[in-house]
């Protein structure tokens, strides 16, 4: 699947307007604030929050095993970058557990607009 197909399917699964999500992702990439990573049928949008922090948004159609592999690969890529802290707003506790399984220490965010953060 292409990144836009994955994002569209994920948005539909969560009852969100896919065009709104695709527009948001496109704006982040066009403005050079965001980078998009894809592994399998998972896409990770990283939005830069300064020099060493990033907000992340995960879009996926992968099953849990494939998603874990994709998250491992995303983490490896991020570890090679200047990013040292990730922020997110997860409404699914399973995602937070998956992040912990791949070795991230997830804790409550120190920024009010996010509900979790993790140091890389």
Integer angstrom CA distances of residue 86 from 14, 16, 41, 83, 116 = 22, 24, 21, 8, 8
The pair of structure tokens assigned to 120 is 């890389």
- Give the neighbor-by-neighbor strand order of the sheet with 85-88: 34-39, 42-48, 53-60, 85-88, 116-119, 105-107
Average pLDDT of the segment spanning 93-113 = 91
Domain segments of the chain: what residues? 3-119
CB 117 within 8 A of CB 85: yes
Q: In this predicted structure, what is the pLDDT of residue 95?
A: 85
pLDDT in tens, 18-41: 999 999 999 999 999 999 999 999
The overall average pLDDT reported for the chain is 95
Weakest-pLDDT range from 10-19, 21-30, 92-101 = 92-101
| Top CATH class, 3-119 | alpha beta
- Taking the model in full, what pTM does it have? 0.93
């Amino acid at each position: 699947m292409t990144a836009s197909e994955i994002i569209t399917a994920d948005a539909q699964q969560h009852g969100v307007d896919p065009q709104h999500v695709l527009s948001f992702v496109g704006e982040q990439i066009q403005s050079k604030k965001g980078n998009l990573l894809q592994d399998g049928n998972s896409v990770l949008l990283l939005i830069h929050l300064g020099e060493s922090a990033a907000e992340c948004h995960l879009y996926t159609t992968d099953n849990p095993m494939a998603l874990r592999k994709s998250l491992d690969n995303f983490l490896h890529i991020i570890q090679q970058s200047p990013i040292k802290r990730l922020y997110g707003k997860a409404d699914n506790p399973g995602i937070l557990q998956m992040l912990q399984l791949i070795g991230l220490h997830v804790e409550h965010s120190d920024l009010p607009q996010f509900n979790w953060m993790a140091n890389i």
